[in-house]
Amino acid sequence: ADLSAPDRGALVHTLFREAEIARMEPLTEFLRGRNDVRVLGPVDSVARAPTVALDIGRNAEEFAATLATAGIMAGGGDFYAVRPLTAMNVKPDHGVLRLSFVHYTSDADIAKLIDALGTHL
C-alpha cells in the first residue's frame, strides 16, 4: 500500500526499534544472570535505548581494550558524566563500560559480545 511520508518514517522507526530490542534481549538476559555487573538504567530491553552502560567494578577503559582484542568495539570511561556516575555510586577511576547497538548489529555480533563478556568478566 502507498504510505504517506510521515507514515513511512514511522514504519522505518518501528522496524529499527524492533531490531534494536531483538538484539538487546540476549544481552540483557545474560546480564540479568550476573551478580558481578551492574546495569545502569532499566534491564528491560523494551524500556531502554540501544546503549547499555555497565558498572563492572574495575577500570572500564582497560576492560574495553581487552574486549577489543576479541574484536568487540566498546567504550570505557566517564563519558563526561562524572557527577551523575558518582551519584550512582560508580567509582570515578572505574567509569562504565558502554555498549551500543544499531540497526546493522547482527545476532552474531551479540553472541560474540556475550561470549567475550563471559570470558573476561
Domains belonging to the chain, first-starting first, are 5-120 (3.90.1150.10)
52-71 confidence digits (pLDDT tens)? 999 999 999 999 999 999 99
Grid cell for residue 80:
563526561
What is the per-residue pLDDT for 102?
81
Of 45, 46, 51, the C-alpha closest to 29 is 45
User: What's this model's pTM, rounded to 2 decimal places?
Assistant: 0.89
3-state helix, strand, coil in the chain (%, to 5): 50, 15, 35
Is the pLDDT at 121 greater than 80, yes or no?
A: yes
Over residues 21-41, the pLDDT tens digits come to: 999 999 999 999 999 999 999
